Structure 1
Amino acid sequence: MDTDRPLLEATGVRKVYRTGSVAVTALAGLDLTVHAGEMVGVMGPSGSGKTTLLNCLSGLDDIDGGRVLIDGHDLFAMSDAARTRHRAHSMGFVFQAFNLIPVFSAVENVELPLLLVGTRPAEARGRALAMLDRVGLAHRVGHRPSEMSGGEQQRVTIARALAGRPAIVWADEPTGNLDSTMAGQVMDLLCELNRDEGQTIVLVTHDGAIGARVPRLIRMRDGRLAGDVRQKAAAPRVGTDVPLG
């Protein structure tokens, strides 16, 4: 990776949703640069384009104009298959709804994406166990999602996102389904991963308390950037060593 080049470069990104004769512009020529090791929060009112931005910058959705480079690779110059492979190898995702496979244990959920990209089973299992230990779930590796709390399930999704050693993690409302205590502890973990391990994270949230904790906060309105500020991230919550449960 070229350390002088931004990890993410988005230029003039447009996204238009069409229903019959009605066209709604979700992203209106948006520019954004993110460097490796940054933690960026994205906030804005409902309908401002936050989730659309994440989906377009990660290549989950197509765009109607502009360009998105991830570590110098133009996502939308790739074929669909190549973009899918690039996403599997270079990106991790954390969603509000967890998206865990209910019949799989925690370790099976974490190792599955590794197996799908061709990682040897023994290596995949080792990396999955190591990441679950890293997020404080070494004692829960054999449990299924229904046997875990919401906070524990979200930590499994974070372990899954990180097990592939991605260049960037996209997090869409990662605390949206959690109460305030669990949300704070999940945010503690994400901040720790960014601070101590240099993990690049782009996080969408509607929660001002979560937005206050990121070092860089982007505000969106009507598909455009309405603000981009560096801020002093809030200190970790008291009692961050208390397990989620």
Structure 2
Amino acid sequence: MEARNSDRPLLVATGVRKIYRTGAVAVTALDDLDLVVRRGELVAVMGPSGSGKTTLLNCLSGLDEIDGGRVEIDGHDLFAMPDAARTEHRARTMGFVFQAFNLIPVFSAVENVELPLLLVGTRPADARRRALIMLDRVGLGHRVGHRPSEMSGGEQQRVTIARALAGRPAIVWADEPTGNLDSAMADQVMDLLCALNRDEGQTIVLVTHDGAIGARVPRLIRMRDGRLVDDVRQFVPEAGAAGEPAGGR
């Protein structure tokens, strides 16, 4: 991972508010929320449906506008930037893993992974090299030419993780990354995310409703009604074979 100033927190959110309005009805989705995430942390956000988990992720990453407060990523105030600058900053410093894999069906695995690199101006040869390295890192070196329809759900999610990491992001946002997977596939994906955090220092913030996943991360945040109601550090035993996903389906 790219070296960065380790003394400064990676994410600082202060007094963040998000309000959804429908006619005369206003719903506060995030209510004066404060959060600090340091480099190298693996953080899970849990809470009941409607508590604001996905809204939090979208606002902290700059995908959604906010109605108040401040969000800094890697020392940059996201909402002080013009839209174009924020989009470029997001493309260069963030990676995204979604519940829906969002892969392009007609592209192979390596083409899906290299596309975001090409869009930010990476030379084609370098984009292909980095895509192949990341696919091998997530255990899919033997599937680089396969299209999404030729892969299992777990394999497709590993492609999205490779895509998120190929640009060497400062932070990866993962919204219910195991939500569409069975328990065995979910375990493989979490093994991989935990290994990337533990072995390479990748900062990851993930949203989940799954208590088993919440139990696997060193820091667990709970939300209710748009507020953080709990923020705990957990002891997580190191798994001996974590991060070594099986090669097959």
State the TM bucket, normalised to the shorter chain. Answer: over 0.9
1:242 matched residue in structure 2: 246
Please name the residue that 1:197 is paired with: 200
* 1:6 corresponds to which of 2, 5, 9: 9
| Counterpart residue type for residue 41 of structure 1 | A
| Aligned residue number for residue 121 of structure 2 | 118
For 1:146, the equivalent position in structure 2 comes to 149
1:51 aligns with 2:29: no
| 1:130 alignment partner in structure 2 | 133
Q: Residues 141-198 of structure 1: CA distance to partner in whole angstroms, max 9, x if unpaired?
A: 0000000000000000000000000000000000000000000010000000000000
CA 1:11–1:139 in structure 2 vs 1: closer, same or farther (change >3 Å)? same
> Partner of 1:69: helix, strand, or coil?
strand
Distance 2:69 2:245 in 1: 44
Deviation at 1:238, TM superposition (A): 7.0
> Which residue among 27, 30, 33 is the counterpart of 1:27?
30
The one-letter code matched in structure 1 to 2:222 is R
**Superposition RMSD on alpha carbons, in Å?**
1.2
Note closer, same or farther for the CA distance 1:42–1:36 as it changes in structure 2 (3 Å cut): same
| One-letter amino acid of the counterpart of residue 242, structure 1 | A
2:109 corresponds to 1:106: yes
Task: Provide closer, same or farther for how the CA distance between residues 17 and 181 of structure 1 changes in structure 2, counting only shifts above 3 A.
Answer: same
1:66 aligns with 2:69: yes
2:95 corresponds to which residue? 92
Tell me which residue corresponds to 1:232: 235
Q: Deviations over 1:214-239 (max 9, x none)?
A: 00000000000000000012543878
Secondary structure (helix, strand or coil) at the match of 1:139 reads coil
> Are 1:184 and 1:237, in contact at CA under 8 Å, matched by a contact in 2?
no
**CA distance 1:27–1:241, shift in 2 (3 Å):** closer
Q: Secondary structure at the match of 1:97?
A: coil
1:39 is aligned to 2:42: yes
Q: TM-score if structure 2 supplies the norm length? A: 0.96
Determine if contact 2:139/2:246 at 8 Å carries over to the other structure: no
CA positional deviation for 1:244: 5.3
8 Å contact from structure 1 (residues 212, 234) kept in 2: no
Percent identity (aligned)? 83
Q: CA deviation at 1:3?
A: 1.6
TM-score calculated relative to the size of structure 1 = 0.98
What aligned pairs does 1:201-220 form with structure 2 within 5 A after superposition? 201-220=204-223
- Which consecutive aligned stretches of 4+ in structure 1 deviate over 4 angstroms post-superposition? 237-241
Q: Within 2, Cα distance between the matches of 1:234 and 1:183?
A: 18
Q: Distance in 2 between matches of 1:180 and 1:199?
A: 24
The answer for unaligned runs of 5 or more in structure 2 is: none
